[in-house]
């Protein structure tokens, strides 16, 4: 069977790579893909991004199943367009994707269904927002309502910063349409974790837990990014917390969407904060997998992903079972010069084809590509083409060993202005409670 993955980042490389391992899959098209998916066995890039073109292609090529990576196509209604053409796609409809597309919708939804989240208020009027801030204390969080490619949230440490963020969004309109409405929410302290599940409309299959690193520099310093690394599983999600998250957050969300007439199908990502007094609160929902969490999760998934998605589309996730590698997977992102503000393109990436892997077996590491393209004189050089460039992902018996393995490989890959953190995984190593095992 032939499959289609929509997107061109590291998450999509990992998804397509995993799908291609199924014995029933002969080829996975990736639209538009990157240099990594172009070079990967069993994958083929497709230079298409417009939804009508993708529908046309899926019909013509008899694509058995389409999987969507990023949020933008969800907001454009890619699932609705595929459904209208009677094509199979694993992604929420535009209506169901409101859970991610509008933070105001999402917060109000959580309130309606008693899903624990920080207290909030929504504003489109700047002076009302300022008055609200005057009654609150910093730190406080200002969020653009709409999609903002990870740039719509200001965690204001002072009240001055908070007022400035309100003006930037509501008065100067620096977020455009996405910032016409803003959500102001209470600041939560604690440990941030990622909890991703598959949903078939009713039933839920949890994937392995993970944790990502959002700041650019070591020690969680510097600006926010799309994610500079991740590891799976996280010891912070014990079996007890896992059960609680499913009961108090995931099931109420899936049932809530169903009862509100927006049946949810697809991957569902809950960004969670575990507070010092052991409350678990939702920071946000994403209607897709996370990047780079996916790279670590796919590295550990032993089950056939194609079969799991088929079961989700047939509404039979209750019969689905996942088998996970008990080892830790850890991914280190290598980013371009100038990322995140002004990533530079066209730097030549060296070292990819002659990595010395020491004791690592070929299935114990994988270099997933994000912002890369093939170019140079003969079209066979790998060039940088985006902010996050690569994610070196490895397995290890524990976080420390997975980390050592990842950096051993990452250090061999070079391009001008290369940026990476050197401490991915450290939060997991500071954990002192009971181990979570292989959740
Ligand atoms: N209420 C909050 N308290 C503390 N930090 C927060 C809060 N909300 C968001 N953050 C931080 O800001 C980041 C981005 O916020 P999020 O709601 O995930 O928006 P997006 O991913 O759309 O930018 C989070 O990953 C978290 O680190
Ligand atoms: Mg987020």
Residue count (the chain)? 439
Q: What is the pLDDT of residues 47-82, one digit of tens each?
A: 999 999 999 999 999 999 999 999 999 999 999 999
- Span 270-274, mean pLDDT? 98
**Token pair of 99, please?**
């859970």
CA-to-CA separations, 415 to 52, 182, 226, 240, 295, in angstroms, rounded: 37, 39, 20, 44, 22
**Token pair of 8, please?**
């061109």
How far, in Å, is the centroid of ligand 1 from the Cα of 80?
A: 29
* pLDDT exceeds 60 at position 436: no
* pLDDT exceeds 70 at position 433: no
- Range(s) for CATH 3.40.50.20 in the chain? 2-91
Give the pLDDT confidence score for residue 438 in this predicted structure.
60
Whether cis (ω within 30° of 0) applies to the bond prior to 340 is yes
Q: What is the pLDDT of residues 76-131, one digit of tens each?
A: 999 999 999 999 999 999 999 999 999 999 999 999 999 999 999 999 999 999 99
**CATH classification of 125-180 is 3.30.1490.20, yes or no?**
yes
Q: How many other C-beta atoms lie within 10 A of the C-beta of residue 158?
A: 11
Ligand 1 pocket, residue 185 CB under 6 Å: yes
CA-to-CA separations, 269 to 152, 196, 253, in angstroms, rounded: 18, 4, 11
CA-to-CA separations, 80 to 49, 76, 93, 274, in angstroms, rounded: 16, 9, 6, 35
Place of tokens 């954990």: 431
Q: Which ligand 1 atom is at minimum distance from the Cα of 150?
A: 23
Nearest CA to ligand 1 atom 19: 153
**CATH classification of 2-91 is 3.40.50.20, yes or no?**
yes
pTM for this model (two decimals): 0.96
* Burial (Cβ within 10 Å: 0-12, 13-18, ≥19) of residue 319: exposed
Q: How many other C-beta atoms lie within 10 A of the C-beta of residue 224?
A: 15
- Range(s) for CATH 3.30.470.20 in the chain? 191-429
Q: Which CATH class is domain 191-429?
A: alpha beta
Ligand 1 pocket, residue 283 CB under 6 Å: yes
Whether cis (ω within 30° of 0) applies to the bond prior to 139 is yes
* Cβ contact 390:413 at 8 Å: yes
Nearest CA to ligand 1 atom 22: 150
């Amino acid at each position: 069977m032939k499959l289609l993955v929509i997107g061109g980042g590291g998450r999509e490389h990992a998804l397509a790579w995993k799908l291609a391992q199924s014995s029933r899959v002969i080829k996975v098209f990736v639209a538009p893909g990157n240099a990594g998916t172009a070079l990967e066995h069993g994958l083929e890039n497709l230079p298409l991004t417009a939804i009508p073109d993708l529908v046309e292609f899926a019909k013509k090529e008899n694509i058995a199943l389409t999987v969507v990576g990023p949020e933008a196509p969800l907001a454009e209604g890619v699932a609705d367009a595929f459904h209208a053409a009677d094509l199979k796609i694993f992604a929420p409809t535009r209506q169901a994707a409101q859970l991610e597309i509008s933070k105001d919708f999402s917060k109000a939804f959580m309130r309606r269904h008693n899903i624990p989240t920080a207290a909030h208020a929504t504003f489109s009027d700047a002076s009302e927002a300022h008055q609200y801030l005057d009654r609150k204390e910093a730190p406080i969080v200002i969020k653009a309502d709409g999609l903002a490619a990870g740039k719509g949230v200001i965690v204001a440490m002072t009240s001055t910063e908070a007022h400035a963020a309100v003006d930037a969004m509501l008065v100067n309109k620096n977020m455009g349409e996405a910032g016409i409405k803003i959500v102001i929410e209470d600041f939560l302290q604690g440990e941030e974790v990622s909890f991703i599940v598959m949903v078939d409309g009713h039933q839920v299959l949890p994937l392995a837990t993970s944790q990502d690193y959002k700041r650019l520099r070591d020690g969680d310093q510097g600006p926010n990014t799309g994610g500079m690394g991740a590891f799976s599983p996280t010891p912070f999600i014990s079996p007890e917390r896992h059960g609680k998250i499913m009961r108090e957050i995931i099931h109420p969300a899936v049932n809530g969407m169903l009862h509100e007439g927006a049946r949810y199908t697809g991957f569902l990502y809950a960004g969670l904060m575990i507070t010092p007094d052991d409350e678990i609160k939702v920071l946000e929902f994403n209607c897709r997998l996370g990047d780079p969490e996916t790279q670590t999760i796919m590295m550990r998934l032993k089950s056939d992903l194609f079969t799991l998605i088929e079961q989700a589309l047939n509404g039979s996730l209750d019969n689905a079972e996942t088998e996970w590698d008990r080892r830790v997977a850890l991914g280190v992102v290598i980013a371009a010069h100038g990322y995140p503000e002004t990533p530079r393109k066209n730097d030549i990436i060296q070292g990819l084809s002659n990595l010395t892997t020491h004791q690592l077996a070929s299935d114990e590491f994988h270099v997933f590509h994000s912002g890369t393209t093939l170019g140079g004189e003969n079209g066979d050089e790998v060039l940088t083409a985006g902010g996050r460039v690569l994610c070196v992902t490895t397995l290890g018996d524990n976080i420390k060993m997975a980390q050592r393995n990842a950096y051993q490989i990452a250090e061999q890959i070079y391009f001008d202005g290369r940026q990476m953190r050197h401490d991915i995984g450290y939060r997991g190593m500071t954990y002192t409670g009971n181990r979570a095992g292989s959740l």
